[in-house]
């Protein structure tokens, strides 16, 4: 059987490798039978693993254990927060119809918000951002001052998953508290990479996904304050404070807790390492003068996630760049979303004021602590050839000639 081609993995913002501590915790839990809701010895043993993991997660995120609601991943946590809080608030007061989100949210927030507008009588309000992707607090402040009584919920992400810009979440939460409006944050890109303290933030709810910090895919959590009403999306067994029914994935939660514990305890060490690699990678990507760095890193404004480098290349299509790099053994992600086989410019980049052509010529490279100098060197060795070929393909495409299948 042929040995798989070794690759340079620079798509850690999509999913990280499972850390050994998480794999060990999951294997230990998998070896034991028992449902955490059962009353016999095996059930109590599973319950103990679940609750000790919940306590560990809460400790690492500045929350109370009872505030950690286990979910099947980040998308479920975002949906539960948006739909659940909206429904509860609307039930309390029918005037609360507005769902306020930033223009750069992940689709796991934007899509349920749009669903609420289409199917549940909500009015969707999208907050603009500046050129770095930072939400406009002045617009939110004016909205709340004018009509806070009609706002059901606000959702602003902790950090952007595409360009890495860190949002002013504590200021957003403070505005929500001032006007009596619950604030949710999708912190999925941030947890494990920058300091995140749920209690100190003032948030009402916050979403987490394990696979973004070395844990398993398919498990996450919604941190939900005890005083925030949230209508469940799933009904059946009354699990998780009766907010999320369903038998808990005990091995998955154990893996999430172990991965988070390691990520938080070694965050300073890993951050220093990743920033050094990031700065070198930026130098490599921009050396020819044909690329620009996007987000807070590119504008010098605010903070950014340490491991994300988002770059636009003049005269290139992002999907061509992606496939050409992949052929050279370098894995990253495109700054565009592919819908029904047609590349579309990223909504994040368009919201930041970027034109469609530039937005479609963008890539995201995302680093983790297990990357090294050799990975950056690998990019340096191929980036000139790749961009030249991508530009040539773009030129041929514009002239009407075949593009040679790079797309």
Domain ranges of the chain: 20-264, 267-399
Q: Burial level of 346, CB count in 10 A (0-12/13-18/19+)?
A: buried
Q: Which of 230, 316, 332, 338 is catalytic?
A: 338
When computed from its CA atoms, the radius of gyration of the chain, rounded to whole angstroms, is: 22
Considering the domain delimited by 267-399, tell me its CATH architecture.
Alpha-Beta Complex (3.90)
Do 240 and 69 touch, CB atoms closer than 8 A?
yes
**Dist. CA 201–CA 206, nearest whole Å:** 10
**Dist. CA 12–CA 211, nearest whole Å:** 9
Considering the domain delimited by 20-264, tell me its CATH architecture.
3-Layer(aba) Sandwich (3.40)
Tokens 């819908």, located at residue: 339
What pLDDT digit, counting tens, does each position of 102-160 carry?
999 999 999 999 999 999 999 999 999 999 999 999 999 999 999 999 999 999 999 99
**E strands, 233-297, where?**
291-293
Residue 366: closest CA among 107, 7, 14, 6: 14
Amino acid 396: pLDDT: 47
For the entire predicted model, the pTM comes to 0.93
What pLDDT digit, counting tens, does each position of 365-404 carry?
999 999 999 999 999 999 999 999 999 986 545 444 333 3
316 is catalytic: no
């Amino acid at each position: 059987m042929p040995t798989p081609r070794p690759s340079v993995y620079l798509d850690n913002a999509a999913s990280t490798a499972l850390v050994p501590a998480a794999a060990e915790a999951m294997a230990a839990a998998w070896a034991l039978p028992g449902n955490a809701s059962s009353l016999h010895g095996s059930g109590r043993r599973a319950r103990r693993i679940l609750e000790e993991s919940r306590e560990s997660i809460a400790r690492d995120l500045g929350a109370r254990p009872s505030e950690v609601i286990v979910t099947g991943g980040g998308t479920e946590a975002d949906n539960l927060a948006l739909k659940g809080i909206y429904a509860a608030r609307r039930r309390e007061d029918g005037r609360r119809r507005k769902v306020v989100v930033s223009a750069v949210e992940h689709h796991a927030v934007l899509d349920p918000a749009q669903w609420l507008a289409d199917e549940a009588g909500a009015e969707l309000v999208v907050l603009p951002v500046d050129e770095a992707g930072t939400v406009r607090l002045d617009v939110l402040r004016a909205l709340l001052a004018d009509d806070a009584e009609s706002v059901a919920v606000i959702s602003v992400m902790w950090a952007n998953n595409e360009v890495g810009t860190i949002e002013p979440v504590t200021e957003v939460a403070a505005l929500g508290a001032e006007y009596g409006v619950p604030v949710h944050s999708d912190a999925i890109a941030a947890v494990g990479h920058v300091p995140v303290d749920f209690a100190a933030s003032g948030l009402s709810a916050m979403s987490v996904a394990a696979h973004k910090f070395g844990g398993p895919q398919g498990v996450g959590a919604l941190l939900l304050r005890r005083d925030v009403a949230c209508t469940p999306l799933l009904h059946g067994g009354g699990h998780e404070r009766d907010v999320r029914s369903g038998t808990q994935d005990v091995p998955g939660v154990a893996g999430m807790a172990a991965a988070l514990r390691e990520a938080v305890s070694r965050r300073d060490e890993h951050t220093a390492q990743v920033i050094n690699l990031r700065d070198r990678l930026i130098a490599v990507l921009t050396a020819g003068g044909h690329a620009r760095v996007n987000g807070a890193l590119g504008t010098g404004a605010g903070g950014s996630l340490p491991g994300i480098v988002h770059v636009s290349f003049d005269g290139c299509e992002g999907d061509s760049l992606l496939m050409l790099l992949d052929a050279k053994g370098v894995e990253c992600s495109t700054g565009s979303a592919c819908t029904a086989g047609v590349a579309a410019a990223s909504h994040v980049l368009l919201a930041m004021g970027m034109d469609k052509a530039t937005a479609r010529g963008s890539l995201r490279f995302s680093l983790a602590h297990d990357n090294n100098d050799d990975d950056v060197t690998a990019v340096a060795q191929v980036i000139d050839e790749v961009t030249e070929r991508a530009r040539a393909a773009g030129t041929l495409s514009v002239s009407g000639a075949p593009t040679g299948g790079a797309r």
